[in-house]
Amino acid sequence: MKTDFDAIVVGAGFAGMYMLHRLRQGGFSTRVIEAGKGVGGTWYWNRYPGARCDVESVQYSYQFSPELEQEWEWTERYATQPEILRYANHVADRFDLRRDIQFETRATGGTFDEQDNLWIVETDRGDRLASRFVITAMGCLSSPNMPKIPGLGDFAGPTYHTGNWPHEGVDFTGKTVGVIGTGSSAIQSIPIIARQASRLTVFQRTANYTIPAHNAPLDTDYVRRVKATYREMRTRARTKPAGIDFDINPASAVETPEAERNRIYETRWAYGGLGFIASFSDLLLNDDSNKTAADFVRTKIREIVKDPTTAEILSPRNIIGCKRLCVDTGYWETFNRPNVELVDVSDDPIERITPTGLRAKGRDHDFDCLVLATGFDAMTGALLGVDFRGRGGVTLQEAWREGPKTYLGLTVAGFPNLFTITGPGSPSEATGAAQEAWVGEVGKSASITLRSTCSSWYVGANIPGKPRVFMPYIGGFPAYVAACQEVVAAGYKGFALA
Ligand code: N01
């Protein structure tokens, strides 16, 4: 059978757009399938009030084009969703990407044809596209999690999910609003909704840690300095575990005298952002060290939130940084507003959604609008939403029944030439043994940190019935790159080449 394209990429977010650019450079005919009307992926869908990146804008950008780096002007320390979406559109235009993207089309299935060694990708528009390679770039936090609360469809007013927000925006002025969830999306949107709404009720199942962003317009001298030394900054970032250039203090928290330790926390708190978790190098390795940082944040909450009972409910009890740390603008302060109420549903789940609101702890809470800030079926949700069938007709769902297994996070044994982000550009398939070894490596890297100890989307704990497996590789960016380079140097060790 003849192929329609050398490669099909699913998703035109940041990964899919770059993939298209690279495949073109490699001379591959490529079609990108994108469900949205435009590019941008997560920044196309997540339009809730206050959505912005928690990585500083000068770092949260493509690195492949020095010209692009120089010409694009970020305006704030942390870019807003609209600005990041403008950037994605600028990239699509600048590199003429749109002509190979099929918008408003959702990939529904992909079947490996063993006879002809190719994939047939099906879409909700009735396409059946034959291609040698399939590269999924669907995002790891893109499949919204609708909570399993009885009566969800009963609410008579509008219901909004932060991960799939109306494009025309929502004006809550004068409305009463209920928000379920206190993760990153909620923490960003709650302060803004509270300013608009006549009354806001927040339903919190797990208290969360958040560090102030101290967002501000970008200083032109700073931007000039960054642009003059962009390559050096990118090179430094590649040596850091998260691939982001911020200083990790090599000292241990418990071995640092208390006064000095608090001075360091105060400095990082005043600077703001995710770098707080790098105040000491052992915060995610040692319980006692972690507790010093958690205590510091809890003290801040008690200082900021005036009502002691509310402050107590807002104070997280788990490991700081175990769930992904949040970055906010005025989150704790919002709970001092007279129109905001916090309802703790940690020990007693929300009973049901009702036509006029919801029932929790035996009390009815009524509101005009319901906001579900309930996150995503992370890492596997989007992939398993497409009916991929590999060798012998085995579905990805079956192959991952006990949890996702990949080799290098890129390929899956039994699914030849299906890449979960990118691929080495040759016909290849992970061997089962190499895959098992990599799964072991992912588990090992998680087990030496405190991150594997709490219920989070990292382990699929937010989705009832999902296998509990620590999904991301957190051995750090340099270790990951080294592992990939070793595989390449050994002639694509672990891949079956045909
Ligand atoms: O989702 P979440 P998110 N009853 O899963 C609660 C990235 N991101 O969209 O913790 C009551 O973190 C749930 O409670 P619990 C970032 O990586 C980045 O906020 O499971 N509550 C939790 O409070 C982030 O980590 C940015 O007990 C229920 C909340 O809903 C990831 O996306 C911005 C419930 C979900 O929190 C996900 O963040 C936004 C129920 N039945 C997101 N079900 C930035 O760049 C769920 N919850 C800044």
CA of 374 to the centre of ligand 1 (A): 5
Measured CA to CA, the distance from residue 250 to residue 106 in angstroms comes to 46
SS3 label, residue 307: coil
Instruction: Note whether 337 and 202 are within 8 A (CB).
Output: no
Residue-by-residue DSSP string for 121-164: EEETTS-EEEEEEEEE---SS-SB-----TTGGG--S-EEEGGG
The two three-digit tokens of residue 272, written as one number:
């703001």
Q: How many residues does the chain have?
A: 498
Measured CA to CA, the distance from residue 324 to residue 249 in angstroms comes to 19
Measured CA to CA, the distance from residue 395 to residue 386 in angstroms comes to 10
pLDDT of 131 higher than 60: yes
pLDDT of 427 higher than 50: no
Please give the DSSP secondary-structure letter assigned to residue 105.
-
Measured CA to CA, the distance from residue 76 to residue 348 in angstroms comes to 41
pLDDT of 425 higher than 50: no
More confident residue, 452 or 72: 72
CA of 454 to the centre of ligand 1 (A): 14
Residue-by-residue DSSP string for 211-271: EE----BPPHHHHHHHHHTHHHHHHHHHTSTTSS--PPP-S-STTS-HHHHHHHHHHHHHH
Please give the DSSP secondary-structure letter assigned to residue 385.
T
Strands 357-360, 387-389: pairing is unpaired
Model confidence pLDDT, tens digit, residues 43-58 = 999 999 999 999 999 9
Q: Which atom of ligand 1 is nearest to the CA of 186?
A: 19
The whole-number pLDDT of residue 456 equals 85
CA of 207 to the centre of ligand 1 (A): 11
Model confidence pLDDT, tens digit, residues 186-214 = 999 999 999 999 999 999 999 999 999 99
Measured CA to CA, the distance from residue 345 to residue 77 in angstroms comes to 35
User: Residue 381 phi/psi, 5° resolution?
Assistant: -55, -50
Residues touching ligand 1 (Cβ under 6 Å) are 53-54, 141, 147, 149, 162, 180-186, 188, 203, 205-206, 324, 327, 345, 350, 373-376, 457, 462
The two three-digit tokens of residue 383, written as one number:
């992939």
CA dihedral 166, 144, 316, 334 (to 10 degrees): 0
Model confidence pLDDT, tens digit, residues 261-274 = 999 999 999 999 99
Which are the contacts of 66, defined by CB distance < 8 A and separation ≥ 6? 230, 231
Q: Which of 77, 159, 188, 205 to mutate to test the pocket of ligand 1 (most atoms within 8 A of CB)?
A: 205
The whole-number pLDDT of residue 143 equals 92
In terms of Cα–Cα distance, which of 85, 52, 40 is closest to 327?
A: 52
Q: Which of 462, 463, 466, 474 to mutate to test the pocket of ligand 1 (most atoms within 8 A of CB)?
A: 462
Instruction: Note whether 181 and 41 are within 8 A (CB).
Output: no
